[in-house]
DNA sequence: CTGAAAGCGCTTACAG
DNA sequence: CTGAAAGCGCTTACAG
């Protein structure tokens, strides 16, 4: 199947290829009549400009990159990425920007992937997710001059624009809600300590607890897995002054908590209130259904795409918060027995 | 940040750009000494060939496309895609092939996306997933001459190579297992009727049941959602001759069945055995843990990437089965009370 | 308003 | 073994 080129249109329309280019790009220099004719022919033969040719002359790749740095086996359990990608890609494709996706194991591999991708001119910019408190990718991106958007942040050490969720507000609201129910011993099962948002949420959690004049709370750091959730919950619930409410940094660990509570003959929510850090199908599918912090992840992807396009187009967008997170109250929370 | 080009290498090495190209591509025409020098310089300045330039002269895009046609909100719940993509992309990147990902709502949109992508020469081939019994994408891909791999299949009406899972074998093994436990009334809660594999699995299920001289089984078609699982299970369990075992086409519906059984005061597995059609974290996280059909989805992605590369390189691979599915027995199945 | 031409960064026959 | 040149399909100043 021969894919048509601009010369074929030029030949059919009886004009130069320059004229065709002007017509197709909506630039002045062709009469309205000629332009119409050219557009009609292009449409008829199903012509689309070769991105390679456009990239070469226009020095724009018309694609952006997303390098996900996670062990592949943990990716499936995490509904975040597919939703985020759905929003991101949907918005990018509206501007005819492609999304080049890469999946690697860790940050060194991510750096290598970005470096290569950029050197090959495959992308006009990169999107960085899962930011670490100390993130080796950021200085590399800055040094290479790669236009980029940080998903999470903003960060003191970098001027890269970011799109972030206000975790402080979300965690504070959740603590306030639990305190209003009457809880005084609230613990937190946090996510990966290396992740920036884990630390932000822990700080917010501690601050919120202190603001209510409650004693220093227990905080356990984990790797988000079911097993970690089980272990952390067992530890917390075995203490003499066991918490009456626990906030988990994701949905899987909160679900694990339900099983542990059952094992230990603690009723949820009467003996133990459980709050999940992500809302997902899992939250409504376990019993009792989990109270959770919910946000529109697809919209987060759309928002990120918009900022990415602003960056690529040189509009130097500022860092901006995404929509606020809301607390969805279900059956796993109540006042302490 | 100026990205270096081949001319810079040529200048530094004091040779023509042609010589540089030959050296870098491992073709004859340069002395070993010169080649080494050129390679060293390229490496030092971090040079990588511009894909745009390579595409334009070599008529290869060095990328393949995956257009996922699903409503975005159902994507997150489905661990399949991220795992499949992780395997697919990992293997492609080993050959320096990019993965262009698109997410659309339905087949007309998928066709439009593929048509555009191909006309713009963004990709050398496309990967088609979630095949329908009547799939409008396939004739379009064939007519446009797009190199493609079908994930699922193979199909009588198309000569496109496919990589598929032997669902017949998997479903038959599961039925045999349930029959061996002593079940005689086995029902099936199937997935989306439009999907080819739904029909393949239903046929295999009926055939396996008949092979054991059991009465015609109940089969309910669904859309894979929790709600559909609840409804189907209620319907099946309300019958006078209710089944003692039900096979579900995914994990979410099987989990839903556990809740319905509890509502109806039926014990799992004593009164009802439940088999999940996909293995996932969810299966081990509900109580009782679900017996499930399991396969290595990441490996499926790797396999698909290999076939895709064979297609792109003109090696005309044949359709080939992926690894067999295995039955992972957990706590949700037992002999009928 | 239109055409001819250079150039983007490569690859690849074709002379030497 | 090496160099000069054409060409891939576009965009974009630059003349007319």
Q: How would DSSP label each residue in B82-139? A: HHHHHHHHHHHHHTT-EEEEEEESSHHHHHHHHHHHHHTT--S-EEE-S-BSS-THHH
Residue B212 has pLDDT above 90, yes or no: yes
What is d(CA A188, CA A217) in angstroms, rounded to the nearest whole number? 8
The DSSP H or E segment spanning B315 is: none
Does any strand D atom come closer than 7 Å to the Cβ of A22?
A: yes
CB distance A86 to A297 below 8 Å: no
The integer distance in angstroms from the CA atom of B248 to the C1' atom of C16 is 73
Position B324 confidence tier, pLDDT thresholds 50, 70, 90: very high
**pLDDT given for residue B203 in this prediction:** 98
The integer distance in angstroms from the CA atom of B53 to the C1' atom of D4 is 19
What is d(CA A84, CA A95) in angstroms, rounded to the nearest whole number? 17
Task: Render pLDDT for A116-129 as a digit per residue (tens, 0 to 9).
Answer: 999 999 999 999 99
Gap between the terminal Cα atoms of chain A? 72
Mean pLDDT in residue range B296-310: 97
Q: Where are the beta strands (DSSP E) in chain B?
A: 63-69, 98-104, 126-128, 148-151, 162-164, 186-190, 219-221, 245-248, 273-276, 291-294, 320-321, 326-328
Mean pLDDT in residue range A323-330: 98
> Residue A213 CB: number of other CB atoms within 10 A?
8
Q: Where are the beta strands (DSSP E) in A113-153?
A: 126-128, 148-151
CB distance A83 to A105 below 8 Å: no
Q: Is A330 in a helix, a strand, or coil? A: coil
Does any strand C atom come closer than 7 Å to the Cβ of A141?
A: no
Q: Is A184 in a helix, a strand, or coil? A: coil
Per DSSP bridges, beta strands A219-221 and A126-128 are: unpaired
What is d(CA B225, CA B223) in angstroms, rounded to the nearest whole number? 6
**pLDDT given for residue B301 in this prediction:** 98
Nearest CA in chain A to B65: A100
List, in order of start, the domains of chain B with CATH numbers. Answer: 6-48 (1.10.260.40), 63-164+298-321 (3.40.50.2300), 167-294 (3.40.50.2300)
| From B83, B93, B101, residue closest to A72, measured CB to CB | B83
Q: Which residue is nearest to nucleotide C7 (CA to C1')?
A: A57
**pLDDT given for residue B186 in this prediction:** 98
What is d(CA B296, CA B325) in angstroms, rounded to the nearest whole number? 8
Strand partners, B294: B326
The integer distance in angstroms from the CA atom of B116 to the C1' atom of C3 is 30
Residue B136 has pLDDT above 70, yes or no: yes
Does any strand D atom come closer than 7 Å to the Cβ of B118?
A: no
**pLDDT given for residue B79 in this prediction:** 85
Which of B9, B42, B55, B82 to probe by mutation at the A interface, max A CB count within 10 Å? B82
Mutual angle of helices B196-211 and B167-181, in 10-degree steps? 40
Average pLDDT, chain B: 94
What is d(CA A81, CA A76) in angstroms, rounded to the nearest whole number? 9
Q: From A56, A45, A59, select the one nearest A5 (Cα to Cα).
A: A45
The DSSP H or E segment spanning A162 is: strand A162-164
Position B3 confidence tier, pLDDT thresholds 50, 70, 90: confident
Q: Where are the alpha helices (DSSP H) in chain B?
A: 6-13, 17-24, 32-44, 51-58, 72-75, 79-94, 107-119, 137-144, 167-181, 196-211, 226-238, 251-263, 281-285, 297-312
Contact B81 A82 (CB under 8 A): yes
The integer distance in angstroms from the CA atom of A301 to the C1' atom of C11 is 39
Does any strand D atom come closer than 7 Å to the Cβ of B30?
A: yes
| From B48, B79, B89, residue closest to A103, measured CB to CB | B89
Nearest nucleotide relative to A25: CA against C1': D11
**pLDDT given for residue B307 in this prediction:** 98
**C-beta within 7 A of nucleic chain D, residues 51-70 of B:** 53, 56-57, 59
Contacts of B255 in chain A (CB under 8 A): 285
Q: What does residue B236 show for φ and ψ, rounded to 5 degrees?
A: -65, -40
Position A24 confidence tier, pLDDT thresholds 50, 70, 90: confident
What is d(CA A161, CA B315) in angstroms, rounded to the nearest whole number? 45
What is d(CA A181, CA B160) in angstroms, rounded to the nearest whole number? 61
Does any strand C atom come closer than 7 Å to the Cβ of B49?
A: yes
Average pLDDT, chain A: 94
Residue A72 has pLDDT above 90, yes or no: no
Cβ burial, residue A3 (10 Å; 0-12/13-18/19+): middle
Does any strand D atom come closer than 7 Å to the Cβ of B11?
A: no
What is d(CA A205, CA A203) in angstroms, rounded to the nearest whole number? 5
Please tell me the number of Cα atoms within 13 Å of B154 on its side-chain side. Answer: 13
Does any strand D atom come closer than 7 Å to the Cβ of B15?
A: yes
Task: Render pLDDT for B18-65 as a digit per residue (tens, 0 to 9).
Answer: 888 888 888 877 888 888 888 999 998 889 999 999 999 887 999 999
Mean pLDDT in residue range A204-211: 98
The Cα diameter of chain B in Å comes to 88
Position B1 confidence tier, pLDDT thresholds 50, 70, 90: low
Contact B90 A99 (CB under 8 A): no
Q: What is the DSSP letter of A240?
A: T
- Cβ neighbors of A202 (< 8 A, separation 6 or more) are A188, A190, A219
Which of B86, B284, B287 to probe by mutation at the A interface, max A CB count within 10 Å? B86
Contacts of A284 in chain B (CB under 8 A): 226
Contacts of A285 in chain B (CB under 8 A): 226, 252, 255-256, 259, 282, 286
Task: Render pLDDT for A241-274 as a digit per residue (tens, 0 to 9).
Answer: 999 999 999 999 999 999 999 999 999 999 999 9
What is d(CA B93, CA A87) in angstroms, rounded to the nearest whole number? 24
CB distance B249 to B255 below 8 Å: no
**pLDDT given for residue B154 in this prediction:** 86
CB distance B261 to B267 below 8 Å: yes
**pLDDT given for residue A1 in this prediction:** 56
Q: Token digits for B76?
A: 């997150």
What is d(CA A131, CA A253) in angstroms, rounded to the nearest whole number? 21
CB distance B13 to B4 below 8 Å: no
The DSSP H or E segment spanning B185 is: none
Q: What is the DSSP letter of A27?
A: -
> Residue B144 CB: number of other CB atoms within 10 A?
17
Q: From A173, A184, A157, select the one nearest A208 (Cα to Cα).
A: A173
Q: Token match 């190209």: residue? A: B21
| A269 prior amide bond cis, ω within 30 | yes
Q: Token digits for B136?
A: 């409008």
Does any strand C atom come closer than 7 Å to the Cβ of B5?
A: yes
Residues above pLDDT 90, as percent of chain A: 78
Q: Token match 């408190």: residue? A: A133
Nearest nucleotide relative to A57: CA against C1': C8
Query: What pTM was computed for the model?
Result: 0.94
Strand partners, A69: A104
């Amino acid at each position: 199947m021969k894919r048509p080129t601009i010369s074929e249109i030029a030949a059919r329309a009886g004009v130069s290829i320059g004229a065709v280019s002007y017509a197709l790009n909506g630039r002045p220099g062709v009469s309205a009549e000629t332009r119409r004719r050219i557009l009609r022919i292009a449409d008829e033969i199903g012509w689309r400009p070769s991105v390679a040719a456009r990239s070469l002359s226009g020095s724009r790749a018309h694609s952006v990159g997303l390098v996900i740095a996670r062990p592949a086996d943990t990716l499936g359990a995490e509904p975040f990425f597919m939703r985020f990608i759905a929003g991101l890609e949907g918005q990018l494709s509206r501007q005819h920007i492609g999304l080049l996706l890469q999946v690697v194991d860790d940050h060194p591999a991510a750096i290598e992937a970005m470096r290569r991708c950029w050197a090959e001119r495959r992308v006009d910019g990169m999107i960085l997710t899962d930011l670490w408190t100390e993130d080796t990718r950021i200085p590399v991106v800055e040094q290479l001059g790669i236009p980029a958007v940080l998903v999470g942040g903003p960060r003191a050490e970098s001027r890269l624009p970011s799109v972030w969720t206000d975790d402080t507000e979300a965690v504070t609201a959740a603590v306030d809600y639990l305190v209003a129910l009457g809880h005084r011993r609230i613990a937190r099962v946090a996510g990966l300590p290396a992740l920036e948002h884990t630390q932000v949420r822990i700080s917010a959690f501690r601050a919120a607890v202190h603001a209510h004049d409650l004693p220093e709370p227990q905080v356990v750091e984990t790797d988000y897995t079911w097993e970690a959730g089980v272990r952390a919950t067992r530890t917390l619930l075995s203490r003499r002054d066991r918490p009456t409410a626990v906030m988990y940094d994701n949905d899987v660990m909160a679900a694990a908590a339900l099983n542990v509570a059952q094992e230990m003959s603690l009723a949820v929510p009467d003996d133990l209130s459980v709050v999940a850090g992500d809302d997902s199908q899992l939250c409504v599918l376990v019993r009792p259904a989990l109270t959770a912090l919910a946000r529109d992840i697809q919209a987060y992807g759309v928002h990120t795409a918009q900022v990415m396009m602003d960056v690529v187009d040189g509009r130097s967008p500022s860092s901006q918060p995404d929509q606020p997170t809301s607390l969805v109250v279900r059956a796993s929370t109540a006042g302490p027995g």
